[in-house]
Chain A
Amino acid sequence: MKDFLDILNRKHMDFKVTPDLFMDIIHESPDITLPAQTAQELREYKSRLTLEKTDKPAVIVGMGTCGLANGAQGVYDTFKEELEKRGIEAELISTGCVGYCAEEVIVDIKLPGYPRLSYARVTPKDVSNLIETTLINHEPVRDKVLGVYHEKSEKRWENLPVINNIPFFKIQQKVVLENCGIIDPENIDQYIVRGGYKGLSRVLKNMSPEDVIEDMLKAGLRGRGGGGFKTGMKWKFARQSEGDKKYLICNADEGDPGAFMDRAILEGDPHRVVEGMVIAAYAIGASEGYIYCRAEYPLAIRRLRKTLADAEKYGLLGDNILNSGFSFKLKIKEGAGAFVCGEETALINSIEGNRGMPRPRPPYPTTEGLWGKPTVINNVETFANVPVIIRRGADWYASIGTATSKGTKIFALSGKVKNVGLVEVPMGTTLRQIVFDVGGGIPDGRRFKAVQIGGPSGGALPESVIDTAIDYENLKEIGAMMGSGGLVVMDETTCMVDLAKYFMTFIMSESCGKCIPCREGTKRLYETLERLTRSYKNENDPEEALLRFQGMVYLERLAKVITTTSLCGLGQTAANPVLSTLHYFRDEYEAHLYERKCPAGVCKELLTYKIDTDKCTGCTLCATKCPVDAIVGERKKAHYIISDKCTRCGQCMMNCNFNAIYVE
């Protein structure tokens, strides 16, 4: 298929289209006149790209990792097969994630003259009906409709919800994710036609590096990776650092369990990140850069490779970018699976080919980073904010958000919540709005208990504080942190002590082992929690009980020592899950400690399994499944569990067909 390059590099043109002119032409600079035929061809191609004026229908399948995990490949293949079989001419496009993971696989259908129509929970079985009803007969399949996009069009879909009005999207403001789930991420032209690389073109033509930095400061952009350091300041330090060579690194080592916004951006709109990086490189004067991406994201890496190749082909990356004289080379480094490599100095060590262990700061990477040279490291979401700040202006950007935190933030909403997905909201939105308005609340009629924000470095927040407006400062005040933006919702069936133990298990195994507070301290924290949540053979052994109480007494002090004396961010925030659960859910800790009970019914060894004699039919299944012969009873008579013998493996409850087994 023809692309922008083909259309604009025609022989009949009476002037050569240099890369800088090229961007101007696409973004319609008024002082360039094109030959009529080329102008016409360009207009047609652009409206085809945006699907504004199409002569044939388009089917767009959401194929991010979450879509694929829900079977998007099968849906795509079935569409392909069916369309061919029926001889229907339609464009089949794959796109990234629109964010509504709970409704995957999402398929959009765009008919000529109609606005884009979005279908949810599509399976291969639905495909032939969708083709028949919508593609051929121009009727919606109502029970599958998610919503209609708000677009100008000749015809309309009657009585269908508009996508922006459905609760999941209503309070969202898509700035960074504006293209995700809309465009084909592997097609550079689709990004360009929506204003892509316009910011870069403006920067290289009209702005000095200092102007760019000034713009970032004015916009108030802060690092989205967790710390919230002012991006403009970081760039300024690196700009002012002396050095013959400077580096720029994109931290795409999204290791936080429960966070997947960076993955969605890389899979859904990778050019945005590259554009942001080139602008940053120009601002700090870097000539080389790396994208350090987790190996666990194979799709993101594959798309990034294509993205870099396409950007180079268009003269947007590499030597003499857009004819400006500025050069910047970008490489991809695959991570090898270490959470600590999200820490900037550890990441630098990893790129240099060492174990990913942090270095003491100062010196900060902006003065002495990769191979001893000044280096700026920002995360994916931060870079993805940059192009839009340039394009729409720092003032516009600064008008979104709170006094200290500007712009929007993407959260990965998951756990015990109805609408799992990616949510982009302005800073200052409350947690309650996200969990209940966007997320739709807790499923199965259960009650909200807490929301864990910021992954293993963050904290679990109870209902009493979820009306707090989210920004960097407010979250710190209530004992959590922004982190990368994972939001895991928990209901009454989640045990907070178990949650703290879970995070400690994670941190313990991910601690790099360099500094003692983190290496040994997290282990001791884990042991204390383990003692609380487990039952030992002799429950009344005084020594065991003493250790349990002693651990609790020292828990807070130990947590504070780890926080204040660890070398890097991982250790300094490692104890946060313990401190925040201890602060807000002390009663649960006490129930584990004094009563030896788990109120949420999670800590298995503290539970007592019992049989409801009214429900038990005496089928003997549980007795045969019990690995320790702790269940007795005659056939066709209610059975009984011998508590002393029971190992709480749960096999009986899992296998009972009559729900007769319960726990106390």
Chain B
Amino acid sequence: MNNQSIFEAYPRNDASLLIPLLQNIQTEFGYLPEDQLEKVAEHIGIPLSRVYGVATFYNQFRLKPLGKYVIRVCRGTACHVKGSLDILRILESELGIKAGETTKDFMFSIETVACIGACSIAPVIVINDEYFGGLTPKSIQKLIKKFKDKG
């Protein structure tokens, strides 16, 4: 789907379509590029500041592109009491980035999520669409090495 046809599916000047439109753009580009936000403002007929306000309010939206592997670390309560903070810290030190950041080579991004509802295998992370549960400080190091080697 090219850029133009994304917009075509959304009638102009309907503010209730702002979030679905942004979601659609993000699915297409992987993030929300600045020029697209300007187009959205023009299309919906609202100031760019409002588009920016919405885009930065919701956790789902990103203004920067993500890495090839997006690691989502579950920080739900069950994962927390089973040591997900340690898992996150190890990931951060292994990859040299903080949660919410992307490595310079665009290989890895780390994100935290409130709860992915897979509490039975806590602590759990999701790399792209694959679940890895029951992690320990040792197994997470091995896992990351595997992904680093895979490239």
Interface residues of B in 121-148 (CB under 8 A from A): 121-122, 124, 131, 133, 137-138
Q: Contact string, B57-68, partner A, CB cutoff 8 A, digits 1/0?
A: 111110000000
CB of B120 within 8 A of CB of A414, answer yes
Tell me, in angstroms, the Cα distance from A67 to B28 when the chains sit together: 29
A438 CB to nearest chain B CB (Å): 14
Measured between beta carbons, the chain B residues less than 8 angstroms from A654 are 137-138
A421 within 8 Å of B by Cβ?
yes
Q: For the complex, what is the distance from the CA of A488 to the CA of B80, rounded to whole Å? A: 10
Q: Which of A70, A260, A502 contacts B133 (CB 8 A)?
A: A70
Within 8 A of B (CB), among A334-352: 334-339, 350-352
Q: Is A356 a contact of B75 with CB atoms below 8 Å?
A: no
Q: Is the CB of A650 within 8 A of B114?
A: no
- Within 8 Å by CB of A351, from B16, B80, B118, B137, lies B16
What distance in Å separates the Cβ of A577 from its nearest Cβ neighbour in chain B? Answer: 10
**Could you tell me if A257 and B58 are in contact, using CB atoms closer than 8 angstroms?**
no
Tell me which of A69, A296, A350, A494 contacts B121 (CB under 8 A). Answer: A69
Residue of A nearest to B136 (CB): A654
> In the complex, are the beta carbons of A415 and B117 less than 8 A apart?
no
Shortest A73–chain B CB gap in Å is 10
Asked if A184 is at the interface of the complex by the 8 Å CB criterion, the answer is no
* In the complex, A499 has a CB within 8 A of chain B: yes
Any chain B CB within 8 A of the CB of A7?
no
Report how far A561 CA is from B76 CA in the complex, Å: 27
**Within the assembled complex, what's the spacing in Å between the Cα atoms of A70 and B120?**
9
With A351-B16, A355-B53, A356-B57 as contacts: A258 and B120 at CB distance below 8 Å: no
By beta carbon, the residue of chain B nearest A259 is: B115
Tell me, yes or no, whether B6 is within 8 Å of chain A by CB: no
Which of B20, B82, B116, B124 interacts with A334 by CB under 8 Å?
B20
Residue A255, interface by CB 8 Å: yes
452-466 of chain A: CB within 8 A of chain B = 452, 455
Interface residue tally for chain A (C-beta within 8 Å): 53
Residues of B within 8 A of A455 (CB): 77
A570 within 8 A of B: no
Shortest Cβ distance from residue A180 to the other chain B in the assembled complex, whole angstroms: 14
Beyond A66-B120, A104-B120, whether A353 also contacts B18 by CB under 8 A is: yes
Tell me if A66 and B114 are in contact (CB < 8 A): no
The residue on A at minimum CB distance from B61 is A336
Flag if B54 contacts A494 (CB, 8 Å).
no
Indicate if the CB atoms of B19 and A350 lie closer than 8 Å.
Answer: yes
A69 touches B82 (CB 8 A): no
A322 within 8 A of partner (CB): no
Q: Name the residue in B54, B59, B77, B124 with the highest tally of chain A Cβ atoms < 10 Å from its Cβ.
A: B77
CB nearest neighbor in A for B133? A69
Say yes or no for B70: interface residue by CB 8 A criterion: no
> Is the CB of A416 closer than 8 A to any CB of chain B?
yes
CB atoms of B77 and A488 under 8 A apart: yes
Instruction: Check B124–A69 contact: CB distance below 8 A.
Output: yes
A494 contacts which chain B residues (CB < 8 A)? 81
Interface check A256, CB cutoff 8 A: yes
Q: Which A residue sits closest to B14, measured CB to CB?
A: A353
Chain A, residue nearest B119 (CB): A414
Once the chains bind, are B80 and A414 in contact (CB under 8 Å)? no
Cβ-defined partner of A65 (8 Å) among B57, B59, B86, B117: B117
Cα separation A514 to B19 with both chains bound (whole Å): 20
Least CB distance from B66 to A in Å reads: 15
The answer for the CA separation of A415 and B76 in the assembled complex, in Å, is 10
Complex CA distance for A204 and B131, rounded to whole angstroms: 44
A175 to B151, alpha carbons, bound, how many Å? 49
Report the minimum CB–CB distance from A482 to chain B (whole Å). Answer: 16
Q: Is B23 an interface residue (CB 8 A)?
A: yes
Q: B61 — which chain A residues lie within 8 A by C-beta?
A: 336
Contact status A352-B16, CB under 8 Å: yes
Residue contact A260 to B115, C-beta cutoff 8 Å: yes
Q: B114 to A506, Cβ gap below 8 A?
A: yes
The smallest C-beta distance from B92 to any residue of chain A, in angstroms, reads: 12
Counting CB contacts under 8 A, is A49 at the interface?
no
Interface residues of B (CB under 8 A from A): 15-20, 22-23, 44, 53-54, 57-61, 75-78, 80-82, 86, 113-122, 124, 131, 133, 137-138
Give me 19 A-to-B residue pairs in the complex whose CB atoms sit less than 8 angstroms apart, sorted by A's number.
A69-B133, A70-B121, A101-B120, A257-B77, A258-B119, A260-B115, A260-B117, A296-B113, A333-B19, A336-B19, A337-B58, A353-B15, A353-B18, A353-B19, A412-B117, A490-B81, A494-B81, A503-B77, A650-B137
Beyond A296-B113, A415-B78, list 14 extra A-B contacts (CB 8 Å). Answer: A65-B118, A66-B117, A69-B133, A256-B115, A259-B117, A335-B60, A336-B58, A339-B114, A414-B77, A416-B82, A420-B78, A488-B77, A490-B81, A502-B80
8 closest Cβ contacts across the A-B interface?
A: A101-B120, A260-B117, A337-B59, A414-B119, A336-B58, A257-B76, A414-B78, A257-B115
